[in-house]
Each structure stands twice: as C-alpha cells, then as structure tokens.
Chains A and B, each alone.
Chain A
Amino acid sequence: MSQNVIIIDYGAGNIQSLKFALSRLGVEAETSSDVKTIKAADKVIFPGVGHAESAMEKLKETGLHLIIPELQQPVLGICLGMQLMCRFTEEGPTQGLGIFDVEVKRFETQLKVPHMGWNLIKNLKTDLFQNLPQEAYMYFVHSYYVPLNTDSIADSDYGCNFCAALKKHNFYGVQFHPEKSSQWGEKILDNFLKLAI
C-alpha cells in the first residue's frame, strides 16, 4: 500500500531517524512545512525535540499552529510534538495547540530529569497498539510529562504514573520515540501507517 506520509518540518530537531524507521516499513516519508502538502497527506507525523516555546514560535511563523488542529487525516505527535498538541505546557510556559485539553508538567521527582532510557508502557488501548504485548518497553527522553487524563491510551511510571500516549478523534500522541524503540516501536509506527484514512 503506497501512501503519502508527511513529516511536519518546522526546524525542530533531528528527524532523520524517523525517516529511516518509516523507510524500514516501506514508506518514504517527505518532510514539509507547506500547508497544502500537509493537508493533502494521507498521514501526518508531528515530531519534535528541543524547547516548547521556540518550537511553538516556529509553528506560528508559518501559520502551522492554525492548520494542525484542523487536519482530518490520522496525525501522530511524537515527544515534543505530542506535548505541543496539549493546551498548555509549563515549559516556557507556552500555550499549545489545544487538541488535548490537558496541561504538560515538569517532572517533580527525586529521580533524574530528563527521564531518559527504556521504560514500560502499559494499559494499552486503541488500534495504535494492536498486536503488541500487554506491556512493552519504549525509549523515552523528556523532562516534561502529560498527566493521566481521559484521552490517555497508554501510561508509564517515572516517580508518578504519567500519560505515555493519547488519542482524540484522528489525533494520536506518543511521549516515547517509536522510531528508536526496537521491534515494538516499529510495530506502533506500522499500526499508525495502517490506520484507515
């Protein structure tokens, strides 16, 4: 199945490993910041590493902050991408895109921050986690987290239980990096690619 997958390019971080991961699944994704191209895609991936405030500014420069919440096709936010889909983040602090009505918080824990490395995700829901075991290890790198909320479709534990993935309508978000999370991360990306358009 050939489909048109666009990775939103807003200058936030390195997306080569994501392209490589998609390529291993048979999809040659293009990166774009062009509104028309993004709107016309079958699937959209919204990646991001770095600081929320400067990332949000970059989205505003291109008007993408208005376009992303309007998208109709399946959209997958990864890491900072997921956090920016929320209403607000303490990082900055910064107003997000408001797709998910939840506030992103900084880890307040005795543990080291950032939360970096492999951790279990559990309570997996929706097609995004089809054919995964009940719990699976994913690779995380983040200092801010989304608290558990009504849109949670996976959670994890680092000093507290937090939301590891979210879903609302056509929007999905994952806090971990599926593109770097070995076979089960690959499976999640594959499941996303297989979602009905």
Chain B
Amino acid sequence: MLTKRIIPCLDIKNGRTVKGVNFVNLIDAGDPVELAQRYAENLADELVFLDITATEEKRKTLIDLVHRVGKAINIPFTVGGGVSSVEDVSAILKAGADKVAINSAAVKNPDLINKLSAKFGNQCIVVAIDAKRIDDNWKVHLVGGKVPTDLDLFEWAREVEFRGAGEILFTSMNHDGTKNGFANQTLKKLNQILNIPVIASGGAGSIKHFEDTFTSGKADAALAASVFHFGEISIQTLKQELINRKIKVRL
C-alpha cells in the first residue's frame, strides 16, 4: 500500500536556510545542504525548498544550491518560490530538482501549468495554493499570502488539476504558524474533488495533528517546518507513532 509522506520544508534566503534550525551536532545550521542530508538520513520522504528571496539576481544562487542538494540527497525534492517561466523550471530541473512548485505565476497565467505539464510531465509540476477563509469562502491569496484574489480555492484546485498539475500543496493561512493542527475539513473536501495528491501545509504542532490530517483530512502528505527544524518532533518518532496508530508510513 502507498504510504503517507512526511515532508520537511526549508525556507531559503540567499542560499541559506532561514527561520533557524536547532539540530544537534549540526556544525552550521544555516547550510541547506547539510540540513537536507540530515533530513534524508532521518526518514523524511521528500523535501521542499522555498526560495523566499526569489529576485532575479539571486536566482543563480538558488540554481547552485539546487545542484548541491541534488548531489547530496537520495530522496525526491521540490523547489519553489518565484518560479514564473518555462525557463525557470527548466533550469531548476536541470540542476537536479525532481519537482517544481509554482504559485502566483500560475494564477496570473494559468496556461503556464499546461505548458509546464506538457513539456516536463505532470509528475514534476506542483501547484502551491495559499488560501484563507473569509466568511464562509476560501479565497486564494498571492505573494506569500499578502495579496487576496477573487479565486475560490476549490474551483482553482479543480482547474489546476485539469490543466495538468501533478500535485497540490495547500497551505491554509488561517492555520499556518498556529501549531493548532491542519485545515482538515477543507483538506477533506479538496481530496473529494481531486484525483491528484494533496499535500497539507500549515498548522502542524503535534503528532496528533499529523494523524488527524491523514485520517480526517485524507491528506496524501503533510508538510511542516518549525516542528522539525527545532527538533520538537523527530521524524522517526512521528513515523513510529503513526504506525502505532495504524497509519502507513515508510520507516
């Protein structure tokens, strides 16, 4: 049976990890390659790198980083942040990434999803969607959640699948950073209307939260940053505990 995936997310700025990490025995906690290697050895199923600089002049630093990460780790990894063209995606994949995440660029130019999927295959195109519940509607937001749009989350999710996305990375802005659990009801609904994998993001604070997002939220994968970076939850312990609770994970 296919297992549920646990995905640590690393925020990258100028080729270094930000938000801080607290790993024992790491000589330089800011080095994304070292951190990635550590996660790969500690049973992470995939990694996501989000480049939060994403300005033109810094892209070379990112490509160099992707190359170094690809050389070092033996699990799949996704790179996102400011990806806006076929050329961007081509450069990132050539440097050794397995998948690319697009977000704002897909909203501004939905045809980009079709183009990327046709050129590189849908398995490597992850569409990231940040959304916020406003009254009873989930609205898609851009630029790291700063800019609201009129797009409905569920309609947009259906459209990106139709256009050739291979996976959806859904971040609930209402839950992100709260450590109060994932947006499981919304995830469940997404899961019902989609036939591509959904990665849950935003809200991880405890092992129970991961359990809930896989059972109630029906998520295919769960992404988190700080609970892993600060060693609050070790992936090994998390996975052992999920297995005890009858959830299939790779150990």
Question: Which residues of A are at the interface with B, using a C-beta cutoff of 8 A?
Answer: 13-14, 16-17, 20-21, 23-24, 49-51, 111-120, 137, 139-141, 157-158, 177, 179-183, 185-186
Contacts and interface: CB of A to CB of B under 8 A. Distances in A.
Contacts of A186: 74
Contacts of B95: 16
Nearest to B1: A157
Contact of A112 (B75, B76, B195): B195
Nearest to A116: B197
Contacts of A139: 75-76
Interface size on B, as a range, is 20 to 34
Interface stretch (B18-26, B116-124, B132-140, B225-233): B116-124
B71 interface: yes
A14 B120 contact: yes
Contact of A117 (B45, B74, B96, B98): B45
A158 B76 contact: no
Majority DSSP secondary structure for residues of A touching B: mixed
A180 B76 contact: yes
B213 to A, nearest CB: 15
Interface string B109-127: 0000000000011111000
Contacts of A140: 2
A121 B122 CA distance: 24
Contacts of A112: 194-197, 220
Given A16-B70, A139-B76, A180-B98, 16 more contacts: A14-B120, A20-B96, A23-B71, A24-B74, A49-B124, A112-B195, A116-B123, A116-B167, A116-B220, A117-B5, A117-B45, A117-B221, A118-B2, A119-B2, A181-B75, A183-B74
Interface of B: 1-3, 5, 40, 45, 70-71, 74-76, 93-96, 98, 120-124, 166-167, 194-197, 220-221, 250
24 contacts: A14-B120, A16-B93, A16-B94, A17-B96, A20-B71, A49-B124, A50-B121, A112-B220, A113-B195, A116-B123, A116-B197, A116-B220, A117-B220, A118-B3, A118-B5, A119-B1, A137-B250, A139-B75, A139-B76, A157-B1, A158-B2, A180-B98, A181-B74, A182-B74
Contacts of B121: 13, 49-51
A7 to B, nearest CB: 14
A20 B37 CA distance: 14
Contacts of B74: 21, 24, 179-183, 185-186
Contact of B93 (A14, A21, A182): A14
A17 B250 contact: no
A139 B73 CA distance: 14
B96 A116 contact: no
Contacts of A179: 74
Contacts of A13: 120-121
A115 B167 CA distance: 11
Which of A17, A24, A158, A181: most chain B Cβ within 10 A?
A17
B93 to A, nearest CB: 5
A120 B2 CA distance: 8
A20 B2 CA distance: 26
A118 B94 CA distance: 23
Given A20-B71, A112-B220, A116-B166, A14 B2 contact: no
A84 to B, nearest CB: 15
A117 B123 contact: no
B2 A115 contact: yes
A111 B2 contact: yes
